[in-house]
Every structure is written in C-alpha cells, then in structure tokens.
Amino acid sequence: MTYANTAVTAPAAAVSTITTRKVLALMLVLALTAGIVGTGMLDNAARMRWGVAFQVAFSFLGFYWYRLDSEARCYRRTRLLNVAVVAFGVIAIPYYLVRSRSKGAKARSLLRCLGFCVALLSVLVLGTLLGLLST
C-alpha cells in the first residue's frame, strides 16, 4: 500500500523542476538570440518569419511564467487575464503583479518587473550589436 502511494507522488514532484527564474533566464537567452538572428538575416521574408517565431516564443514563455507564478501564489487566473497576458503582456503582467501581491510587495514587484524589462531590452541590444559585428 505504501509503495503505491509513493509511486503516485514521485512523478508529480519531478514535473515541477522548471522555476520562474529559469523561465526568465530563458527569455533573456531568447532576446539575445533574437537580436543576433534579426540583424544577421539579409532577406526580409526570413526576418519576418524569425520575428513571428520569436514573438510566439516570448508570448509562450511570458504566459508560462505567469502560470507558474500564479500557481505558486494560489492566485486564481481568469480567462480574460490569461488572454491578456498572451496578447498584451506589457500591460497585463504589471496588472497581475499588483493584483497578486500583498500591499507591501506591490511596488517592489513592479520595480523588479521594470528592471527585468530593462535587462531584456539591454540583452536584445547586445544581441543586435553582436549580430552587426558578425556580418
């Protein structure tokens, strides 16, 4: 009987190895790659295809971060906010942060979000510069 309970709970613990920090780090790597690839492509059609692929990947990772964070905080996600995070992440993520944090943590979480956006933009610019140097 104990063996059966252990077998059921072991896979559930192994599933949650991806953390919100890992998702954010992956977004930084994706921004660097987007900068490099975006400047290295000479064909406009290829640049557009890569742009769409990177946008889909950013939207997916942004939603995945939101899902992991909301589950960790036991925040009930609504369908409208789910769609907004994918479609309008720049507005929806700060809204989520204000709604899901306690009074003392709202400003701190917004500042951390702003800091991450600055880091994301900086890495994108770095990737663009690296892409220009390689051509």
> For residues 38 and 26, what is the distance between their CA atoms, to the nearest angstrom?
18
- pLDDT single digits (tens) 11-35: 444 445 789 999 999 999 999 999 9
pLDDT (0 to 100) of residue 6: 42
Residue extents of the structural domains in the chain = 17-134
Q: Given this model, what pLDDT does residue 22 score?
A: 95
**pLDDT of res. 39:** 82
More confident residue, 71 or 9: 71
Name the band, by pLDDT with cuts 50, 70 and 90, for residue 101.
very high
pTM comes to: 0.82
pLDDT at 46: 83
Alpha-carbon separation of residue 83 from 15, 61, 66, 79, 91 (angstroms): 25, 14, 11, 6, 12
Q: What is the pLDDT of residue 42?
A: 65
Q: What's the maximum distance between 2 C-alpha atoms anywhere in the chain?
A: 64
The first and second tokens of residue 119, run together, are 């880091």
Higher per-residue pLDDT: 94 or 49: 94
User: Is residue 3 scored above 70 in pLDDT?
Assistant: no
pLDDT single digits (tens) 29-86: 999 999 988 887 667 788 888 889 999 999 999 999 999 999 999 999 999 999 999 9
